[in-house]
């Protein structure tokens, strides 16, 4: 089958790879109808990780069940399904507690599995014609048959639940004010989710004009950090106290001020943006400091967070991979009911063959490349 294969930094290719097959009785094979490119793929694409050449990318997958193993009883051939980016067993301590982003079975010691992701288990990705889905009864979310809402449902594998997770970690409640750093697809989903949860004012910080326009389009207040100091701009609009809550949807690849090279820049800005005793949800990715790492950011890791200021303000912080299964059923039902349309972030629908060009443009945050979905 055809698949998007990692070659070297800044290069992917569409190549023939072995067809996946049922390996365990609990597996299913899914024919992919839509698979999205994610900001998380860019960490590997830009060569900041140990992703090996030959890895098939793609963790935001949906499609039609093509075949099931003998131990699969709920999911049936022909079902239309969405797969959380987390590969999870459903029976370990963390899965039983709803923390499927930290499954202890699929990735012992580390916790947390994902398709097409270095260090998150031996699971090839779904930017391909077919995907093997382990523990299929647990990991397939059933969708209504047909083609309606395809791009809305495509957001259920990762970014809609992840944005919602950010707002949930920050415990966003009706009437509150929220600052979201990052207007990438994940930040836009965090802003959208905060509004769904009833926030009164949501600020979205970025400097990419087309992304800030999308934030404004769904009712958030855009803040261009290229033109203004975001902390001051947001404080000015929240009685000088700062917002009740904050979300970091940028992570360790943040653009940092000239001469500075500290990856915790956004975390520190949030510490100053959120009012004393507020809460911060961190969904942007951070990695442990690695003394032998390839970049200054990788070597320093997260060590430069202003913990003293965080303590002084009595702030609380939630972090980590999103537990997609904790939210995807409810968010699916909001889509079906017409109360959520997360596909507003989707700017391009392309065949698999155009993935190499789409990766390059998404990586440059070009206009019109806020979220790319591929149609194998
Ligand atoms: P993206 O790269 O498209 O978006 C990041 C945005 O942040 C860009 O628009 C960029 O202009 C902006 N930015 C850069 N520096 C900034 C700064 N100093 N202040 C404000 N904005 C700044 O990626 P995405 O797809 O939106 O993903 C965002 C992050 O979320 C990535 O780190 C990704 O790995 C992570 N992620 C986490 C989870 C999870 O489960 N926790 C899931 C999916 C993605
Ligand atoms: Zn993703």
Q: What is the structure's pLDDT at 300?
A: 59
Evaluate if residue 258 carries a pLDDT over 80.
no
Q: Judge whether 2-158+323-374 and 159-319 match in fold.
A: no
CATH class of 2-158+323-374: alpha beta
Question: Which fold would CATH assign to domain 159-319?
Answer: Rossmann fold (3.40.50)
Is the overall model pTM greater than 0.80, yes or no?
yes
CA dist 28 and 49 (Å) reads: 29
SS3 (DSSP) at 132: strand
CA dist 155 and 43 (Å) reads: 20
Pure H helices in the chain: 39-45, 93-96, 136-139, 150-154, 159-169, 185-196, 209-217, 230-236, 265-273, 296-300, 307-312, 328-336, 355-363
Dihedral-angle region of residue 239 (phi above 0 means left; psi in -120 to 50 means alpha; beta otherwise) = left
Which residue puts its alpha carbon closest to atom 13 of ligand 1?
182
- When pLDDT is cut at 50, 70 and 90, the band that residue 58 belongs to is very high
Q: What is the ipTM of this complex?
A: 0.99
CA dist 110 and 116 (Å) reads: 16
Q: Give residue 190 CA to ligand 2 midpoint distance, Å.
A: 13
Q: Give residue 366 CA to ligand 1 midpoint distance, Å.
A: 15
- When pLDDT is cut at 50, 70 and 90, the band that residue 262 belongs to is low
Distances (CA, A) of 189 to 21, 58, 120, 352, 355: 34, 19, 23, 24, 23
CA dist 36 and 350 (Å) reads: 10
Q: Where are the domains of the chain?
A: 2-158+323-374, 159-319
Q: What is the structure's pLDDT at 256?
A: 75
Give the mutation target among 99, 102, 249 for probing the ligand 1 site: most ligand atoms within 8 A of CB. Answer: 249
User: pLDDT tens, 135-152?
Assistant: 999 999 999 999 999 999
Owner of token pair 């979220």: 371
Q: Please state the rounded mean pLDDT for residues 76-104.
A: 97
Q: Give residue 117 CA to ligand 2 midpoint distance, Å.
A: 10
């Amino acid at each position: 089958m055809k698949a998007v294969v990692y070659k070297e930094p800044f290069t992917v290719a569409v190549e023939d790879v072995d067809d996946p097959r049922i390996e365990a009785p609990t597996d299913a094979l899914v024919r992919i109808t839509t698979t999205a490119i994610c900001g998380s793929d860019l960490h590997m694409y830009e060569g900041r990780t140990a992703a090996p050449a030959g890895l098939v990318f793609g963790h935001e997958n949906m499609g039609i069940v093509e075949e099931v193993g003998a131990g699969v009883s709920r999911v049936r051939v022909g079902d239309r399904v969405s797969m959380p980016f987390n590969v999870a067993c459903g029976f370990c301590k963390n899965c039983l507690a709803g923390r499927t982003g930290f499954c202890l079975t699929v990735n012992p010691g580390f916790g947390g599995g994902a398709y097409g992701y270095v260090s998150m288990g031996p699971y090839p990705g779904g930017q391909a014609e077919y995907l093997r889905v382990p523990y299929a009864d647990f990991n397939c979310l059933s969708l209504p048959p047909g083609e309606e809402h395809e791009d809305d449902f495509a957001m259920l594998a990762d970014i809609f639940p992840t944005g919602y997770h950010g707002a949930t970690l920050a415990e966003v409640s009706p009437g509150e004010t929220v600052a979201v750093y990052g207007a990438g697809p994940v930040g836009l989903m965090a802003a959208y989710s905060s509004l769904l949860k009833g926030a009164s004012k949501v600020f979205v910080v970025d400097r990419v004009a087309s992304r800030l326009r999308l934030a404004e389009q769904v009712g958030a207040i855009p803040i261009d950090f290229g033109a203004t100091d975001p902390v001051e701009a947001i404080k000015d609009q929240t009685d000088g106290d700062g917002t009740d809550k904050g979300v970091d949807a940028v992570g360790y690849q943040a653009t940092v001020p000239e001469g500075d090279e500290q990856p915790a820049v956004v975390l520190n800005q949030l510490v100053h943006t959120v009012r004393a005793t507020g809460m911060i949800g961190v969904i942007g990715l951070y990695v442990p400091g690695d003394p032998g790492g390839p970049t200054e950011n990788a070597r320093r890791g997260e060590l430069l967070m202003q913990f003293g200021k965080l303590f002084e303000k009595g702030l609380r912080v939630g972090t980590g991979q999103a537990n997609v299964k904790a939210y995807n059923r409810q968010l699916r039902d909001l889509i079906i009911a017409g109360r959520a349309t997360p596909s507003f972030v989707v700017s391009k629908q392309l065949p698999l063959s155009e993935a190499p060009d789409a990766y390059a443009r998404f990586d440059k945050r070009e206009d019109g490349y806020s979220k790319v979905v591929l149609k194998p």
